[in-house]
Amino acid sequence: MDSVRYELLNGAPIRTGPNDSCGVVGRADWNYYIYLHCYTINSAAHIWDHVRAYNRFTGDEISGWIYENNLDGIGSTKAC
């Protein structure tokens, strides 16, 4: 695990893969801690981070890919 982000765009989609065409497995908002695992650059040259989102109130978790521009600050520094 690389680091934790406390803020991201409200309702940012977490996807099954590192592309806008991949399915959405969930959406994270302000009440989720975002644990960054690694990043990749997709075929469109966009950076995506593999994450685990943990809801600090309900304990729910979502794992998948999030577009790096949806994070507050920089994403993971570790390539997948």
Compute, in degrees rounded to 10, the torsion defined by CA atoms 23, 16, 60, 66. -100
CATH class of the region 3-70 = mainly beta
- How many CB atoms neighbour CB 11 within 10 A? 10
Report, in this order, helix, strand and coil percent for the chain, each rounded to 5: 5, 50, 45
**Residue range 35-50: mean pLDDT, rounded:** 95
Comparing 64 with 28, which gets the higher pLDDT? 64
pLDDT on residue 57: 93
Question: Strand, helix or coil at 80?
Answer: coil
Q: Say if CB 51 and CB 34 are below 8 A apart.
A: yes
> Taking the domains of the chain in order of start, what are their residue ranges?
3-70
**Residue range 57-64: mean pLDDT, rounded:** 94
Comparing 73 with 26, which gets the higher pLDDT? 26
pLDDT averaged over every residue in the chain? 88
pLDDT on residue 47: 97
Comparing 8 with 48, which gets the higher pLDDT? 48
